[in-house]
Structure 1
Amino acid sequence: MIRVGVAGWPVKHTRSPAIFAHWFERYGVDARYELIPVAPEDADSFFAELPAEWAGVNVTVPHKRTAAAHIKLEGAGARLGVANTLWRADGVVCGTSSDGPGFVASLDAAAPAWRDSNAPALILGAGGAALAIADALRATGCAVTVANRTLAKAESIAASTGAAAIPLTDLADAMAGCGVFINATTRGMAGIDPLDIDLSPLPASAVVADIVYNPLETALLAAARSRGLVAVDGLGMLLHQATLGFERWFGIKPEVDAALRAKVVATL
């Protein structure tokens, strides 16, 4: 049996086991997906010599930069210096970040017309998710603006990705011309205050996306739907980012379908 898993601290909250169990059954793969708790003080040694028992590993907070420092990086991982998916190739541990591409794939699946507008994307927040999403959107040719309370953090993402950076005081003006508005903060997550923001400046054609998936229907998405805007929840990003690991480990590009969504929703 092939052993794969997710390394982080903590890891009990992850929905990845449900995702991969669905694909193991669907594609007849004899494998087991395990939780791998790695304490921060042990992270360097763990990723420097990834134990041979693991055919592949997903990486979650707070280890994405630590993992990246010890492996051969490709694609978005090399550009950003982070990794959430590791695999072995010719005896070398390789890795990249699939978070940004996962977001774009989710957007393509739920709101494919976003690409037709040629309008810029506006990202609220300047953490790791915002960085990954800005990079992936820029890779499609989309113009991106990052807004954050601490402007220096938005400017750091802008410098890394070719995006623009603005303070929150300029948010309404930026919303007026954007095609996709993205909440890349944790606001609205279960147990955290909702994102209280006026969506009226957005064009009627805008798409509103939230990276939060628990709850699926955040206050932001409910407000978007009440305005008649297309709303994209955060579960799609979670599901689509997982496809890369499965493909690298088992040579199969797995499908993100309604059955998979239903199984993960049942765990929320």
Structure 2
Amino acid sequence: MRIDIMTLFPSVCEAYLSESIIGRARKDGLVEIKCHDIRDFSKDKHRHVDDYTYGGGAGMIMQPGPIADCFKAICEETNTRPYCIYMSPQGKVFNQETAVRLSKMDNIALLCGHYEGVDERIIEEIVDEEISVGDFVLTGGELPALMVADAVTRLLPGVLSGEECFTEESHFSGLLEYPQYTRPPVFNGKSVPEVLLSGHAANIANWRRREALKRTLIRRPDMLKKADLSRDDLKIIGEICAEIHESDA
């Protein structure tokens, strides 16, 4: 898979994408990620890529020309048209389902806005989808683009040690992940749950499922509406609700 990031700050993106799991995946050829400086496509001698808004208003808007030329260069380099995503607070909120969908594509291009955003005409011309990482506004699209690139890359074959590294995580299965523990077995008087030390695989799996359901019920009950729940899961949820009600009584 290839991911292209169109940005005013390629060094910021490269710094993150060159480290840890994503950096190793790039070195091993499991994913190709390229960061493109939109300023390189400015026809202004000072490399300006923004201007005042028509109609007045605060802030500057990124011009369509440099972005269009940057995207054109990517298309020519890849000999295809990448699926283009504009990182925008007006987009659909990013989630694990979207990450899985994007991970199945061959090439995506992430457009990072800045200032007050980008000229609407470039959105109409090249953007296939707008994505937000939450109901808040940042100074630029670089952090959201890195979040998307990270979430997508870690789903690619070979990036993590095994599929279970992400299939059991929060949100992938529609539930929050169960609690995790490591050494030492006792820390500040608190012990690791005995079942996790038992070596009994079935009991451990049952405990983890119950804890995932409990955590989701307490922290994100909205997720249960879309989760794929079995009859046993519904029974467990009923038991947990009874326990919570009893403890509050």
Per the TM superposition, whether the score is higher than 0.5 is no
If asked which structure has higher relative contact order (CA below 8 Å, sep 6+), I would say 2
TM-score (normalised: structure 2): 0.29
